[in-house]
């Protein structure tokens, strides 16, 4: 129990860049809060923004999601982290409303820091899944994955013991 007398669960994913962007590092924390979960991310080494040109999508802001499987095996270096599966979608919702759909990461000099509340899951439901950072922004409508592009970084969500902040 934490100092509020509530049973809280905390988890984190340590993010590591793959072959497309090996300099990415960071951490994503998940905290149980009343009615859902608080998610906090601090990621460095993101590639600089590049606007869309002709038929190529922009690089950044970066799609940011929970994926089905806690497997960050690189596999094909040109198309890494496919073993993580698709976006986590336990309620079979259309894209943009998946439980694993997060706000995009906006990079400032290669660093993104964000925090948000979601009522779509509790921490115990995401332990053992993965967090993926994508090359392109999520459009929150293209099915099934929002046209977020290649997978740049991955981290498996692991339970931390105890509660509290950090």
Q: Give the count of beta carbons closer than 10 Å to the beta carbon of residue 133.
A: 29
Q: How far apart are CA 12 and CA 130, in angstroms?
A: 10
Give every strand in the sheet of 36-44, ordered side by side: 64-67, 130-134, 151-160, 10-17, 25-33, 36-44, 112-118
Domain positions in the chain: 10-160
The CATH H-level (homologous superfamily) assignment of domain 10-160 is Superoxide dismutase, copper/zinc binding domain (2.60.40.200)
- Tokens 């906006």 — which residue? 106
Task: State the pLDDT at residue 165.
Answer: 45
Residue pLDDT, tens place only, 104-143? 999 999 999 999 999 999 999 999 999 999 999 987 777 6
Cβ(157)–Cβ(13) under 8 Å?
A: yes
- pLDDT, one tens digit per residue, over 14-55 is 999 999 999 999 999 999 999 999 999 999 999 999 999 998
pTM of the full structure = 0.90
Distance between CA atoms of 40 and 114, rounded to whole angstroms?
6
Q: What is the mean pLDDT of the chain?
A: 89
Q: Which residues pair with residue 116 across a beta bridge?
A: 39
């Amino acid at each position: 129990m934490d100092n509020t007398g509530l049973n809280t669960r905390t988890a984190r994913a340590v993010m590591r860049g793959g072959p497309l962007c090996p300099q990415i590092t960071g951490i994503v924390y998940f905290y149980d809060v009343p009615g859902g979960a608080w998610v906090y991310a601090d990621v460095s080494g993101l590639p600089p923004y590049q606007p869309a040109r002709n038929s190529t999508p922009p690089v950044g802001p970066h799609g940011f999601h929970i994926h089905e499987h806690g497997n960050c095996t690189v596999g094909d270096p040109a198309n890494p982290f496919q073993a993580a599966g698709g976006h986590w979608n336990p309620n079979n919702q259309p894209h943009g409303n998946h439980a694993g759909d997060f706000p995009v990461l906006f990079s400032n000099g290669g660093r993104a820091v964000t925090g948000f509340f979601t009522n779509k899951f509790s921490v115990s439901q995401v332990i053992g899944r993965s967090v993926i950072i994508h090359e392109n922004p999520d459009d929150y409508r293209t099915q099934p994955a929002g046209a977020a592009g290649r997978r740049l970084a991955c981290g498996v969500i692991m339970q931390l013991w105890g509660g509290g902040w950090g």
